[in-house]
Every structure is written in C-alpha cells, then in structure tokens.
Amino acid sequence: MPKRIALTDSVKIDTTDLSDFARQVQFTSSDAQVDVSGFNPTGVNEYLSGPRTQSVTVDFYGSYGTGEVHQTLWPIYKARTTHAFAWRPDGSTAVGVNNPELRANVKIYDYGPGAQRGSEDSFQVTFMSADSAGFDWFTT
C-alpha cells in the first residue's frame, strides 16, 4: 500500500458508521515489560513480555442528532455495554490485504463531551479491549 493521506477512513462503533464525525484515530497496543533480571557479569537488564493492554482513541466531533455520536456512545457507556469497534484506512474499499480492518469488542470507561465558545465541539473517546481476543487486524 502506498503512502497515504488519511481522508477516507472508516470508523464504526456498534455497527454505526461514525466516520464523518471522527477526525483522528490512534491505536495503541502495549505490553508490560517485566524485569526478570538476575545478577550477571554485564549488568544488563533482562525482560519478559507481560500483560498486553490495547485501546483505540478517537477524536469525535460532538454531534447530538439521531444515530450520531452522542446517541451512539452515551447509552453504551451508561450501560457499560461491550460493543464492536472497527476502523480501516479506506472506507470506500472493501476490507482486504491492502485495506485491513482493526476490530475488537470494546468498552468505554470514560465519556466526557464538552464545549468551548467559538471552537468546534470535539472530544476524545478511548475504546478499551473488552475480552481476551483483543484488537486484531482482519483482511476479510
């Protein structure tokens, strides 16, 4: 896949396409680094990979209409519902090897829209992996 300018990304929350209300997506997958160092001649630390934490943070524009951002996210957060998340680089092209889709069952632990006079209404939402399957990239 060539270099790209992110313009046509697809962001779906609970099957609802919120792409037009999202302007940034950041996936993070991080393993705890567990120090298992013992005494040794070089003094260099030794590590093993520990628990993995995965999340996606999305910048949303605040929108409060039917089926839009707030009406999609607030009930999910309020009820502590596990729901589906999906993001792929090109929403106009089918999922494939060159257009993989990041998917997971996720939960929202923080929800905080806000507003500032004269500025666009936007806020971040972090979707945390909700089960042991975690986030993964799908090509079909």
Residues 6+ apart with CB under 8 A from 8: 89, 90, 91, 92
Which CB atom, from 84 or from 128, has the smaller least distance to other proteins? 84
Minimum distance of other proteins from residue 72's CB (angstroms): 6
Minimum distance of other proteins from residue 26's CB (angstroms): 22
Is 63 exposed, middle or buried (CB count within 10 Å of its CB: 0-12, 13-18, 19+)?
middle
Spatial contact of 125 and 83, defined as CB atoms under 8 Å apart:
no
Q: Which residues bind other proteins (CB under 8 A)?
A: 12, 14-21, 65-68, 71-72, 75-76, 81, 83-84
Minimum distance of other proteins from residue 9's CB (angstroms): 14
Which CB atom, from 56 or from 76, has the smaller least distance to other proteins? 76
Minimum distance of other proteins from residue 17's CB (angstroms): 4
Which CB atom, from 19 or from 99, has the smaller least distance to other proteins? 19
Q: Which residue has the tokens 């993995």?
A: 52
Which CB atom, from 67 or from 96, has the smaller least distance to other proteins? 67
Residue-wise burial string across 83-118, b where 16 or more C-beta atoms lie within 10 A, e elsewhere: bebbbbbbbeeebeeebbbbbbbbbbeeeebeeeee
